[in-house]
Amino acid sequence: MFSWRSILQKHDFEQKIDVAFDVPMKALTTFKIGGAADAVVTVHDPSAFDELLRILAIDNTPFYFIGGGSNLLVSDEGLRGAVVRLSSKTAGVTRLDEMTLQADGGLPLPKLSREAQQLGLAGLAFACGIPGTVGGGVYMNAGAYGGEIKDVLKEATVFWPDQGVKTMSADELALSYRHSSLMKTGGIVLSATFILKPGDSDAIGAEMTDLLQRRRDKQPLEFPSAGSFFKRPEGYFAGKLIDDCGLRGYRVGDAQVSEKHAGFVINRGEATCEQVKQLEQDVRTRVYETFGVTMQPEVRLLGDHWLP
């Protein structure tokens, strides 16, 4: 009897997907942490999803949809089953009308932001430095510097393993602070449609340059991280709470609260998932004991406990 691995290895997907086995997840996440996944499947053509999932179902093989890996912490033990992601190489942008762009789910958000700027369309400048994909951005309602995906999203085309493909309106996606309904229902965003506003290309470009410089000045981009580690508690700023507890620079092994921005947890070299989890628990405990505020991670943990 053939296993899902052997079938996946031999199956002819007509170049619609690429498959790699025993892939260290640290190579696929901006945190640079995580053991090996049994398989990583990169999908170039979503029409291959049905056949792919039929093969994975042979042994009830678990699978995980991920975007650009910018908001993930992966277990040191790795992931059993298959990690599935959309290709960025084949992803692009289509202009549907004067103010409407449709972007493939695997497209990096900075590329979408730049494309809109070059077309003289305003509304996506905030995404110029977010190191995620369009699909991941919709999934978690990504945002920065006062802008969020929900501000410009019209609808998204989503694939579910048990329902197939459906187009969901922004209202159906129920976007809120770092959240969408997809976090409960699952699904992978194949494409998203954005309604933008007319703008001056040079002015938008200048805004993007300013935002990128602010990121370089204020965020620890010189170290691997998953971006802002904790959600913003209502009425507070996560980084200030952590800083006011005297935890700026606090370390557990090579996992550290950034000295540059206390809202970030960085990997100083060889940080492990367990070290990050211990640091997260230490920070949560100290902040609660000091201010009575419960901190929640914005980062998703795969292969262990958290997840929304």
What residues contact 300, with CB distance under 8 A and at least 6 apart? 71, 72, 73, 306, 307, 308
Active-site annotation holds for 298:
yes
Residue of 5, 85, 178, 300 marked catalytic: 178
Active-site annotation holds for 228:
yes
- Burial label for 50, CB within 10 Å (0-12, 13-18, 19+), is exposed
User: What 3-state class would DSSP assign to 278?
Assistant: helix
Instruction: Show the DSSP H helices in 83-200 as ranges.
Output: 109-118, 134-140, 170-173, 182-185
d(CA 262, CA 242): 6
Helices 201-218 and 109-118 sit at what angle, rounded to 10 degrees? Answer: 150
Residue of 191, 228, 280, 300 marked catalytic: 228
Is residue 131 within 8 A of residue 137, CB to CB? The reply is no
Is residue 145 within 8 A of residue 211, CB to CB? The reply is yes
Place of tokens 């200030």: 240
What residues contact 61, with CB distance under 8 A and at least 6 apart? 4, 81, 82
Residue of 191, 258, 298, 300 marked catalytic: 298
Count the neighbouring beta carbons within 10 Å of the beta carbon of residue 115. Answer: 17
Active-site annotation holds for 274:
no
Q: Which tokens go with 3?
A: 């296993």
Place of tokens 């209502």: 234
Kindly provide the b/e burial profile for residues 12-23, where b requires at least 16 CB atoms within 10 angstroms of the residue's own CB.
ebeebbebeeeb
Count the neighbouring beta carbons within 10 Å of the beta carbon of residue 307. Answer: 9
Active site residues: 178, 228, 298
